[in-house]
Amino acid sequence: MPPLMSNHGKYIVSMGNVCRWLAEQAEALEVEIFPGMACSQLVYEGSRVVGVVAGEMGLNANGTPGPGYEPGMELRGKYVLICEGVRGSLAKELIAQYDLSAGHEPQKFGLGMKEIWEIDPAKAKPGTVTHTMGWPLGKNAGGGSFIYHLEGNQVLVGFVVHLNYANPYLYPYMEFQRFKHHPLVADLLEGGKRVAYGARAISEGGWQSIPKLTVPGAALLGCSAGLVNVPRIKGNHNAMLSGIAAAEAAAAAIAAGRAGDELTDYEAEVRKGPIARDLKPVRNVKPLWSKLGLWASLALGGFDMWVANLTGWNPLGTWKHGKTDAEATGKAADFRSKNVELISAASFTSSWRASIISTSRGRSRSSCSGAREWGFMGDRKLQGFWPKHMKLCNPKRTKPQIQHAKSRP
Ligand SMILES: Cc1cc2nc3c(=O)[nH]c(=O)nc-3n(C[C@H](O)[C@H](O)[C@H](O)COP(=O)(O)OP(=O)(O)OC[C@H]3O[C@@H](n4cnc5c(N)ncnc54)[C@H](O)[C@@H]3O)c2cc1C
């Protein structure tokens, strides 16, 4: 692997703990934090963004005010920095309103799932990181796994499925369950206990999909800007670097008496500084994988990354993604249902997953981040296509292929 993929000498941390610690530091500096409420609208004055509406509660699933509706409050600032993670509702509005993706490649997405396990202490190897690519997805989709050994006999086991797969029957959650049945993974988890589960989308377009980052009064940061390094499955470093760069640009602007204009210094720093040095060398990995499949892309992408690492120049230039994930979806009639059902100590049904998920998004509580729309299917007409994430096994069509113990702990 090229050195830019190496994890040696780095720490494995819980980002939840890091964020809690960071929040304490911020509050000690008199920064006000409003946990538990979403920003539901941008506030404009002419063509400038001047703030957000936060804390609007009691909306119905379709966005209309429900019986317990409470209006939010308008928070105004000299600059509004949008850090909503992947495909946030306000970021999407900004990108559409100001046509920020014009001249850039379409954003690509993956679905990442992660479980925290407490394992047999004899099998724990704190500091060990394992990444895999491909299996069990085969030619059906791109993706891979990660296993991080933390302290306290805990391991993080995760699986990412690229969302540009054609087969609309493919069920990413069940592919993750299948992954845990690989003998090496099953052996690691044998006798262990799953203590938490989470899932989140990942922006995978990389360097060529980063939109224009600034508009008058606002800027996009972190995963709202699509700053994930795809082959490393890492984006926290760039989210932090973008936060530092935006804060420095805004502080300098305010000190100079400016407000509500474009933070062009921020965009310049992202496109020339450490974020660019991280993302540019790996920019061909994702499009090569999508177009050539795993093995050819490993060879070509590895060559491209090695040369970029040694010389700072990518011999393959810049490959394009060409189309959105939604445009890659095939018609249901052209595919057969896979219908794999796994029931064992290592795997879990999706209803069990829902029972321990640590995120709560009561539909009538708040209007957070686009939960009420199809998201990654884009504007494509759904007729003839199964929604990718909504495919459930149809027991009448095929028998389950694998069935282990009937009960789960
Ligand atoms: C399975 C998986 C494994 C990963 N592993 C790693 C790894 O090992 N190392 C690494 O560096 N990166 C990893 N990443 C990527 C990493 O999680 C992201 O790049 C990083 O979290 C980006 O930070 P962010 O602040 O931009 O977005 P986020 O961490 O997503 O934070 C955005 C926050 O804003 C909130 N929000 C969204 N909309 C609104 C709104 N309208 N109002 C109020 N709040 C809102 C969200 O709820 C969220 O809390 C992984 C991602 C996945 C999915």
pLDDT value of position 99? 98
Tell me, what's the pLDDT at 61? 85
Q: Measuring from atom 13 of ligand 1, which residue has the nearest CA?
A: 234
pLDDT at residue 342, as a whole number: 53
pLDDT of residue 399: 34
| Mean pLDDT in residue range 7-16 | 88
The answer to whether the bond into 2 is cis (omega within 30° of 0) is no
Q: By alpha-carbon position, which residue is closest to atom 31 of ligand 1?
A: 85
Could you tell me if the CB of 253 is within 6 A of ligand 1? no
**Mean pLDDT rounded to a whole number for the chain:** 85
Cβ of residue 273 lying under 6 Å from some atom of ligand 1: no
Residues 172-194: what's their mean pLDDT?
A: 94
Q: Is 143 in the pocket of ligand 1 (CB under 6 A)?
A: no
Most ligand 1 atoms within 8 A of CB, residue of 234, 237, 357 to mutate: 234
pLDDT digits (tens, 9 = 90+) for 323-333: 999 999 999 89
Distance CA 299, CA 290 (A): 14
Per-residue pLDDT for 395 more than 70? no
Homologous superfamily of 34-82+211-283 in CATH?
FAD/NAD(P)-binding domain (3.50.50.60)
For ligand 1, say whether the CB of 232 is within 6 Å of any of its atoms.
no
Residue 132: helix, strand or coil by DSSP?
strand
The 10s digit of each residue's pLDDT in 117-152 is 999 999 999 999 999 999 999 888 999 999 999 999
**Gap between the Cα atoms of 248 and 358, Å rounded:** 34
CATH topology (fold) of 109-204+327-362+375-390:
D-Amino Acid Oxidase; Chain A, domain 2 (3.30.9)
Does 34-82+211-283 match 109-204+327-362+375-390 in CATH topology?
Answer: no
Provide φ and ψ at 25, rounded to 5°: -60, -40
The domain segmentation of the chain, as residue ranges, is 34-82+211-283, 109-204+327-362+375-390
Judge if the beta carbon of residue 368 lies within 6 A of ligand 1.
yes
Q: What is the 35 CA–ligand 1 centroid distance (Å)?
A: 15
Asked if residue 168 has a cis previous peptide bond (ω within 30° of 0), the answer is no
Tell me, using a 6 A CB cutoff, whether residue 366 lines ligand 1: no
pLDDT of 368 reads 35
pLDDT at site 268: 98
Residue 309's pLDDT is what?
Answer: 87
Q: How high is the pLDDT of residue 261?
A: 98
- Average of pLDDT values for 350-354? 55
Tokens of 63: 């966005």
Question: Which pLDDT score, from 0 to 100, does residue 157 have?
Answer: 97
Average pLDDT of span 290-306: 90
